[in-house]
Structure 1
């Protein structure tokens, strides 16, 4: 018996995964923290997540198509107890953007020398952790939703038997 849903995984199938991605971007990043020279900075919240996230299948291949912008709030405490806060924004997290091509912006509220130090820790130490997890996003997306659009080979079944032709009456 053949697989009637999508014979040999040939036809285009897609699934919107933006709601899942929003949860992913919260769960994986909020609480991410680094310490440096007695200073601590961490991601405290997700302010926005917009764009598109889809997982697709065509001709037996799983394809990820996504382009999102995310903006996080961060908080920091300097070694002397001074607190700071700001934002970390990624403008384009996309299926065709490599880690070293990701553009981001780090801001700090009420900037002064010590708060600028905390902002620099976010840039130099927290951003590489976030970027690394953003690179992992594609793999996690496929792992979480790949079977929703792609039928594993062992479940495809057999092709339908060929039908015998019937002689045409003359």
Structure 2
């Protein structure tokens, strides 16, 4: 008996669409504050790359590498409003929490608006890192049943051919 899900003991599921929804739901609305400055993620502009869930030899493996671009808005303590983007060029399965790169830009940058980079770095970045740390486990929990087959469900091997 063969199993269509487990040809050659390797199963792969493309999960990029799910990841886009996940990051939209998990990241948009995150808020941070420092020294009276307030910042918030307002939109996920872009999520590109690959997100796969695999089973190999009975083990579930996540393999992903995505780039994210997020819009933010902020209000400085003096009432100055600003907007900008946060680009994370690589959120990958083998990246440690402290290895993520966050490129922060401010639209129409000036000294009054630039002060908002500090609360982004000190309060939003740790929230983003925590979300990225959970991604792999959430991916597995959501899609495990689509790729994982218990050994007892694999059936028996086909009998050898006779000539």
Query: Where on the TM-score scale, by shorter chain, does this alignment land: which range?
Result: 0.7 to 0.9
Match of 1:124 in 2: 122
Q: Does 1:107 align with 2:105?
A: yes
Aligned length: 159
Instruction: Please point out which of 56, 67, 89 is paired with 2:87.
Output: 89
Match of 2:73 in 1: 75
CA-to-aligned-CA distance 1:37-84 (integer Å, 9 cap, x gap): 222100010111100000000100001111100000000012232100
TM-score (norm. length: structure 1): 0.84
Contact 1:31/1:43, CA 8 A, preserved across alignment = yes
CA-to-aligned-CA distance 1:75-132 (integer Å, 9 cap, x gap): 0012232100111111111111111111120111122222111112111211111011
Q: Which structure would you say has the larger Rg?
A: 1
Instruction: Please point out which of 9, 13, 22 is paired with 2:20.
Output: 22
The separation in 2 between residues aligned to 1:158 and 1:81, in whole angstroms, is 63
Closer/same/farther in 2, CA of residues 157 and 54 from structure 1, 3 Å limit:
closer
Flag structure 1 segments of 5+ consecutive residues without an equivalent.
Answer: 164-170
Match of 2:61 in 1: 63
User: What root-mean-square deviation, in Å, do the aligned CA atoms of Structure 1 and Structure 2 show?
Assistant: 2.2
Closer/same/farther in 2, CA of residues 160 and 111 from structure 1, 3 Å limit:
closer
The separation in 1 between residues aligned to 2:127 and 2:3, in whole angstroms, is 44
Flag structure 2 segments of 5+ consecutive residues without an equivalent.
Answer: none
